[in-house]
Amino acid sequence: MTTPHTATASVEPLRQRLGSRFLTSAEALRDFSEDRSLAVAEGQPLGVVLAESADDVSVALAWANETKTPVSVRGGGSGLSGGAVSYPGGLVVSLEAMNRVLDIDVENRLADVEPGVVTSDLDERARKHGLFFAPDPSSVHLSTVGGNIATDAGGLRCIAHGTTAASVAALDVVLADGSIIHTGARTIKNATGLNMTPLFVGSEGTLGVITRATVRLKPVPEGTPRTFCASFDTVEAAGRAVTSIVSSNPRPEMLELIDAICARLIEEFEPSGLPQPEAALLLGQTVGPTAQRDAEILVAACERMGATVTRIQEGNDLLEARRIANGALMAGRYAVHCDVGVPVGNLVEMMRGVQAISEEAGRGVSILAHAGDGNLHPAVESDETPEDRAAAEKVVDRITELAISLGGVITGEHGIGSLKYRELPLQFDEPTLRAQRALKAALDPHGILTPGRGI
């Protein structure tokens, strides 16, 4: 696979074909060059394509393929792995203007959407029909459906509904040469040809650009949800409670872990009455007609594992506090984030190991986790100097290596992007990497789509 050059190509064909949808102002180049990660663009792109249709994306990629110009793809810019950061002399393809919910098919429990639809907006539209969109990342009010699909985002409801992949039925994708393909079907079963839809889910824009998705919806559970919380004096006790809950019935729809550092920072960032544990707080939610009874059973399980204070209440206030955790950690100097996953049975050992790494490094590490599915987001304390950030990244490397040693993965839901690219050899041996890159080369022979990221 060739590497795209960064020499300045003539953008006049893009101006002629796209008109006002091709942006080159200094403000646009700045606003569309970075995401919410710590990754920084190394130079200015040539321009931004504010796509309004699949045809716009096709025009952009065909030009980039012909000129061998690197392309970064972005939705809402809420990514945390540096996948949407622009390339010097590259082209940015923005999908944020493709933000229409095209159809809610109530009978078949499907929605047809453009990639720039904000996740919470789709969920709100679906609920008007008694349905909901299961993927529920913490950035649900910012992230887009296309971005969720591109990274196979997870979130709070994964313990009950799986990652975004479980909700994707079909896709329209623009390939690197500008051609448009269609994958999947609206049916429940489909054994026709190669199953290409999962190939693009989680591919981070390296294989093609998603311009339309058919996603699955679910019926809204009856009754009023119950949210429960349990405080623990040790992180290990909280981890044992998670293992107990996940390995028995009933299972909650959400099960989150917030350590004492993060709970304090959340309350300082946006006071809401979030309980302040000695070591860790479990937050969970039950749904359906038996929500109250199920919450009581789960709280009792927490108490058997050593919970000191427990609470059950209606509503989502506690979970909304959880959603601002990333912002609170960033504001509190816990800015270098990690995204690893381990088998739930190894959760206690993983958290114990993170604490040991923190002590050995002499550097604070806060643990935030989608505990029910074993996805942890440790955040390492750091100031803004390059030297201190580098030291914090070494702590992240040790945490990642620990996860791998426990049968885990280097990213559970944020994706590889540019920030985790160097960690790929920890996860895959060389033959496995070659196989993945061979698929990339087949669909993108000039390597224009997010080169040096993802795979």
| Size (the chain), residues | 455
Does residue 264 carry a pLDDT above 50?
yes
Q: State the alpha helices, DSSP H only, in 47-193.
A: 54-67, 119-127, 145-151, 158-161
Copy the structure tokens of residue 80.
């945390």
Domain 226-405 has CATH 3.40.462.10: yes
Closest CA to 214 of 106, 348, 104, 323: 104
Q: How confident is the model at residue 26 (pLDDT cuts 50, 70, 90)?
A: very high
Domain ranges of the chain: 101-219, 226-405
Q: What is the pLDDT of residue 36?
A: 86
- The lowest-confidence range among 8-12, 149-153, 394-398 is 8-12
Average pLDDT on 73-86 reads: 93
Q: How confident is the model at residue 314 (pLDDT cuts 50, 70, 90)?
A: very high
Q: How confident is the model at residue 80 (pLDDT cuts 50, 70, 90)?
A: confident
Place of tokens 């409801």: 157
* CATH code linked to domain 101-219: 3.30.465.10
Q: What is the pLDDT of residue 312?
A: 97
What single-letter DSSP state applies at residue 31?
H
Spell out a b/e string for 146-180, using b for 16 or more CB atoms within 10 Å of the CB, else e.
bbbbbbbbbbbbbbbbebbbebbbbbbbbbbbbeb
Distances (CA, A) of 166 to 150, 156, 202, 241, 291: 13, 14, 12, 27, 24
Average pLDDT on 140-149 reads: 95
Task: Give tens-digit pLDDT for 364-387.
Answer: 999 999 999 999 999 999 998 999
Q: Do domains 101-219 and 226-405 have the same CATH topology?
A: no
Instruction: Give the CB-side neighbour count of residue 363, counting CA atoms within 13 A.
Output: 24
Does residue 8 carry a pLDDT above 90?
no
Mean pLDDT of the chain: 95
Q: How confident is the model at residue 29 (pLDDT cuts 50, 70, 90)?
A: very high
Copy the structure tokens of residue 292.
């109250």
Q: How confident is the model at residue 3 (pLDDT cuts 50, 70, 90)?
A: low
Sign of the CA dihedral with 105 first, then 215, 438, and 432 last: negative
Does residue 1 carry a pLDDT above 70?
no
Strands 47-50 and 91-94: parallel
CA geometry: angle at 121 spanning 120 and 127, to 5°?
85
Q: How far apart are CA 11 and CA 259, in angstroms?
A: 50
Q: How far apart are CA 141 and CA 145, in angstroms?
A: 11
Average pLDDT on 28-50 reads: 93
Does residue 309 carry a pLDDT above 80?
yes
Interacting residues of 352 by C-beta distance below 8 A, sequence separation 6+: 235, 236, 239
Distances (CA, A) of 5 to 82, 146, 183, 438, 450: 20, 27, 31, 20, 13
